[in-house]
Structure 1
Amino acid sequence: MGLSERRVSRLFDPGSFKEDLEGQNTHFICGAGTIHSIKTYVAMSRGRDCEFQSSRQWSTAQQIIKTVGLARAAEAPLIYIQDKIGGNNDTEGFDTARVFSSDMSSLLLSSSGMGSVSASLAELAKRNLLMSVILGPTSGPLALPVMLADLVLMTRRGALCMGRPDMVKAMLAQQTDLYSLGGSDIHSTASGSVHLVFDDEADLFTDLRKLLLYLIAGKSSTYGEFSTPPEVDFNRLLPPSHNIPYDVQHLVRSFVDSDSLIEISASHAPEVLVGLASLQGQVFAVVASNSAHGGGVIHKRTARKMIHVIDLVGKMGLPILFIADIPGIMIGEEAERDGIFTAVADLFRAHSRCKVKKLLLVARKAYTGGVYAMSGPGFEPVAVLAYPDANIGVFSTLTMEKIIQSSSMTDAQRAVVSVLDKEIRSPLLLKDKGLITDVISVRDTRGAVFKYLFD
Structure 2
Amino acid sequence: MDQDQKVIEKGSENSERLQKITSELERIHKGGSPKNHEKIKTLGKMFVRDRLKLYFDNGEPTYETGTFANATKKDLPADGVVTGAGKINDRLVYFTASDYTVKAGSIGRYHGEKILRMQEAAIKSKRPIVYMIDSSGGRIDEGGGYHSDKYSGGKIFYNHSIMSGRIPQIGVMYGPCFAGTAYMPVFCDFVVMLEGKAGMAIASPRMVQMATGQKVDIEQLGGAKMHAEKSGSVDFVVQTEEEAAEVVKKLLSYLPDSFEGKPPSAPPVPPTRDPMNIDNIIPKEPNQPYDVHELIESIVDGESFLEVKKSYAKELVTGFARIDGRVVGIIANQPTVKGGAIFPDSSDKGANFVWLCDAYGIPLLYLCDTPGFMVGTQVEEQGILRKGRNFIYATSVANVPKLCVIVRKAYGAGIYAMAGPAYEPDTTIALPSAEVAIMGPEAAINAVYYNQLSQIPDPKQKAEFVKALRDQYRESYDIYKLAGDMLVDDLIIPGDLRKELISRYEVFENKEFPLPNKKHGTMLS
TM-score, normalization by structure 2: 0.78
Q: 2:341 aligns with which of 284, 292, 297?
A: 297
Q: Which residue of structure 1 lines up, in the alignment, with residue 211 of structure 2?
A: 171
Q: 2:95 aligns with which of 42, 46, 57?
A: 42
Give 1:3 shift: 2.1
Unaligned runs of 5+ in 2: 1-29, 31-45, 70-77, 454-467, 508-525
Structure 1 CA distance for aligned equivalents of residues 273 and 421 of structure 2: 33
Is the radius of gyration larger for structure 1 or structure 2?
2
Equivalent runs, 1:102-121 vs 2, <5 Å: 102-107=142-147, 109-121=148-160
Q: Which residue of structure 2 lines up, in the alignment, with residue 31 of structure 1?
A: 84
Structure 1 CA distance for aligned equivalents of residues 220 and 251 of structure 2: 29
8 Å CA contact 1:299–1:329 kept in 2: the answer is yes
8 Å CA contact 1:404–1:418 kept in 2: the answer is no
Structure 1 CA distance for aligned equivalents of residues 267 and 48 of structure 2: 32
CA gap of 1:53–1:242, structure 2 versus 1, over 3 A, is closer
Give 1:4 shift: 1.7
Give 1:158 shift: 1.0
Give percent identity, aligned residues only: 25
RMSD: 2.6
Q: Which residue of structure 1 lines up, in the alignment, with residue 492 of structure 2?
A: 440
Amino acid at match of 2:501: V
Equivalent runs, 1:49-448 vs 2, <5 Å: 49-52=101-104, 57-84=108-135, 99-107=139-147, 109-156=148-195, 157-216=197-256, 223-232=265-274, 233-400=277-444, 421-424=474-477, 426-448=478-500
CA gap of 1:66–1:448, structure 2 versus 1, over 3 A, is same
Task: Write the deviation string for residues 405-429 of structure 1: whole angstroms up to 9, x where unpaired.
Answer: 77869xxxxx9998763241x2221
8 Å CA contact 2:254–2:264 kept in 1: the answer is no
Q: Which residue of structure 2 lines up, in the alignment, with residue 93 of structure 1?
A: none
Task: Write the deviation string for residues 138-162 of structure 1: whole angstroms up to 9, x where unpaired.
Answer: 1111111211111111111211111
CA gap of 1:313–1:287, structure 2 versus 1, over 3 A, is same
8 Å CA contact 1:217–1:223 kept in 2: the answer is no
8 Å CA contact 1:404–1:417 kept in 2: the answer is no
Amino acid at match of 1:360: C
Partner of 2:329: helix, strand, or coil? strand
Give 1:193 shift: 0.1
Partner of 2:391: helix, strand, or coil? helix
Partner of 1:174: helix, strand, or coil? coil
Q: Which residue of structure 2 lines up, in the alignment, with residue 90 of structure 1?
A: none
Partner of 2:321: helix, strand, or coil? strand
Structure 1 CA distance for aligned equivalents of residues 83 and 94 of structure 2: 8
Structure 2 CA distance for aligned equivalents of residues 268 and 40 of structure 1: 29
Unaligned runs of 5+ in 1: 86-95, 410-414
Amino acid at match of 2:282: L
Number of aligned residues: 435
Q: Which residue of structure 1 lines up, in the alignment, with residue 16 of structure 2?
A: none
Stretch of structure 1 that moved more, 76-85 or 380-389: 76-85
Give 1:349 shift: 1.9
TM-score, normalization by structure 1: 0.89
Amino acid at match of 2:492: I
Give 1:239 shift: 1.9
Task: Write the deviation string for residues 218-253 of structure 1: whole angstroms up to 9, x where unpaired.
Answer: 985972224211344334212231111222111101
Task: Write the deviation string for residues 352-378 of structure 1: whole angstroms up to 9, x where unpaired.
Answer: 331111111111110110110101122
CA gap of 1:50–1:406, structure 2 versus 1, over 3 A, is closer
Give 1:23 shift: 3.6
Give 1:347 shift: 1.5
Amino acid at match of 1:223: S
